[in-house]
């Protein structure tokens, strides 16, 4: 059994250069920026008014100024400001030569071409050229692009951005007992929930996905399906058939198809039989069929690998909280990820009856880690919760 953190390190350190494609900035939400980008133009590109008001020379210090011009956003001022003069100016407009202060309109009165200051203006109200960003400095490093990042890119004139190609993730569920939701169950059968669940987890990561459906526990049919999916996909997710039962054909089928097993069996709970293999430039996870295991192993291991494929390091969002009730466990040989919910700062471990108890995940908001060797965590302990 491989140490789960060692397995994570293998996944995160995989040498992988994602293909880069160029997409319109407006369509890059959720995509991974493929290379560091620099500031193209000073921001703002010219010194501009932060307020509607009157641009003047602060050294004048007087109360009455002759208005020589009106400057709107987008205008280029035609006249410089001399002593005793001002220009009426709108927010975002270029500061005229000679002016170093905007008296906001609320602190003034205007009549017959003259402006009178009615209240002292404490601020300059000017945003200097390059005050926010200077041309040439770092703008964005590779990361998942959010709405505000796209705004920043657009503000810098980037009409397109280089992003990592989106991997195609295939999903095959294995098990002769599986029926697709919508069909009638015969006795001994269950619905295939992992197919939908794994595709949804992949969708949440903005990757392309292809659900190949369920394949019965028949090595020939499994081999045919896996071979095709490995040729078509960057990453294949298999659920079920990966442990020690007579009908668990996944490891042998993969070997027969020429895949190299990178690891099989992790000291993790749930999800001990987890397998990771590679054939050429395609990768495959063999995930346990029990749906809680499938879910958690995707969350922790598959996610990390998919991030790697897209050129980023996965950084799960973590909050800290206080354990609501003492946790005890008999077997402390494996690292355990336990689903929890949050009540304010209180961390409540979900009572779940093992890895087939999928409905327990309805309430899950996060996962806690119980380390190898830890058989008890006291009520009131401070814990990190990895948010789902
Ligand atoms: P396995 O890993 O194939 O031994 O399956 C472990 C358990 O998970 C068995 O009870 C299976 O019936 C169940 N299971 C396997 N695949 C699925 C699936 N796609 N959806 C829901 N349950 C599954
Ligand atoms: Mg099975």
Task: Dump pLDDT digits (tens) for 110-139.
Answer: 999 999 999 999 999 999 999 999 999 999
Burial 241-266 (b: 16+ CB within 10 A, else e): bbbeeeebbbbebbeebebeebbbbb
- Which ligand 1 atom lies nearest to the CA of residue 241? 3
CA 345 remoteness from chain centre: 24
Could you tell me the distance, in angstroms and rounded to a whole number, from the CA of residue 236 to the centre of ligand 1?
17
Report the chain's mean pLDDT, rounded to a whole number: 97
Cα-to-chain-centroid distance, residue 183: 36
d(C-alpha 144, C-alpha 216), whole Å:
38
Q: Which pLDDT band, with edges at 50, 70 and 90, does 313 fall under? A: confident
Residue 368 has pLDDT above 90, yes or no: yes
CA 320 to ligand 2 center in whole angstroms: 37
Please check the confidence at residue 352 and state whether its pLDDT lies above 90: no
In this prediction, residue 314 carries a pLDDT of 86
pLDDT at site 16:
80
Q: Give the mean pLDDT of 351-369.
A: 93
pLDDT over 90 at 11, yes or no? yes
User: What burial letters (b/e) apply to 170-193, b meaning 16+ CB within 10 Å?
Assistant: bbbbbbebbeeeeeeeeeeeebbb
* pLDDT score recorded for residue 79: 97
CA of 381 to the centre of ligand 1 (A): 35
Q: Which residues have CB under 6 Å of ligand 1?
A: 173, 175, 177-178, 190, 192-195, 239-243, 245, 288-291, 356
Residues 6+ apart with CB under 8 A from 297: 268, 270, 271, 274, 285, 287, 288
Confidence band (pLDDT; 50, 70, 90) for 14?
confident
Is 174 within 8 Å of 250 (Cβ atoms)? yes
Residues 147-189 have pLDDT tens digits of 999 999 999 999 999 999 999 999 999 999 999 999 999 999 9
Over residues 26-77, the pLDDT tens digits come to 999 999 999 999 999 999 999 999 999 999 999 999 999 999 999 999 999 9
Position 57 scores a pLDDT of: 98
CB 30 within 8 A of CB 145: yes
Closest-CA residue to 237 (of 273, 255, 212, 259):
212
pLDDT of 283 above 90 = yes
Using most ligand atoms within 8 A of CB, pick from 176, 290, 356, 361 the residue to mutate for ligand 1.
290
pLDDT score recorded for residue 17? 84
Which of 287, 269, 272 has its CA nearest to residue 327? 269
Residue 354 binned pLDDT confidence (cut-offs 50, 70, 90): confident
d(CA 240, CA 236): 13
Radius of gyration over every alpha carbon of the chain, rounded to an integer in angstroms: 31
């Amino acid at each position: 059994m491989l140490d789960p953190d060692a397995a994570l390190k293998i996944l995160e350190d995989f040498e992988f250069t994602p293909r880069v494609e160029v997409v319109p900035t407006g369509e890059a939400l959720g995509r991974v920026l493929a290379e560091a980008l620099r500031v193209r133009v000073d921001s703002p590109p010219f010194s501009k008014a932060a307020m509607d008001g009157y641009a003047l020379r602060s050294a004048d210090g007087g109360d009455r100024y002759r208005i020589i011009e009106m400057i709107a956003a987008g205008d280029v001022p035609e006249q410089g400001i001399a002593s005793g003069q001002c220009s009426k100016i709108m927010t975002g407009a270029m500061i005229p030569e000679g002016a170093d202060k905007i008296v906001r309109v609320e602190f003034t009165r205007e009549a017959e071409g003259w402006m009178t200051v009615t209240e002292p203006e404490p601020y300059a109200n000017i945003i200097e050229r390059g005050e926010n960003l200077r041309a040439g400095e770092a703008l964005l490093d590779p990361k998942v692009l959010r709405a505000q990042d796209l705004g920043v890119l657009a503000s810098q004139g980037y009409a397109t951005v280089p992003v990592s190609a989106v991997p195609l993730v295939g999903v095959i569920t294995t098990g002769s007992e599986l029926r697709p939701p919508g069909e009638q169950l015969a006795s001994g059968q269950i619905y295939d929930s992992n197919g939908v669940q794994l595709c949804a987890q992949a969708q949440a990561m903005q990757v392309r996905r292809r659900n190949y459906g369920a394949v019965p526990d028949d090595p020939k049919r499994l081999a045919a399906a896996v071979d095709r999916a490995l040729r078509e996909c960057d990453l294949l997710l298999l659920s079920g058939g990966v442990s020690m039962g007579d009908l668990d054909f996944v490891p042998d089928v993969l070997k027969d198809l020429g895949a190299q097993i990178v690891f099989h069996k992790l000291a993790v709970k749930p999800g001990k039989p987890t397998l990771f293999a590679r054939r050429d430039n395609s990768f495959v996870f063999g995930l346990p069929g029990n749906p809680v295991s499938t879910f958690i192993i995707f969350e922790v291991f598959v996610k990390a690998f998919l991030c790697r494929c897209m050129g980023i390091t996965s950084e799960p969002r973590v909050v800290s909280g206080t354990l609501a009730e003492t946790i005890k466990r008999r077997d402390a040989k494996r690292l355990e990820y336990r689903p929890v919910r949050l009540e304010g700062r209180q961390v409540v471990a979900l009572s779940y009856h093992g890895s087939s108890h999928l409905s327990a995940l309805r309430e899950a908001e996060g996962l806690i880690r119980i380390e190898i060797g830890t058989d008890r965590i006291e009520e009131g302990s401070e814990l990190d919760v990895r948010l789902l």
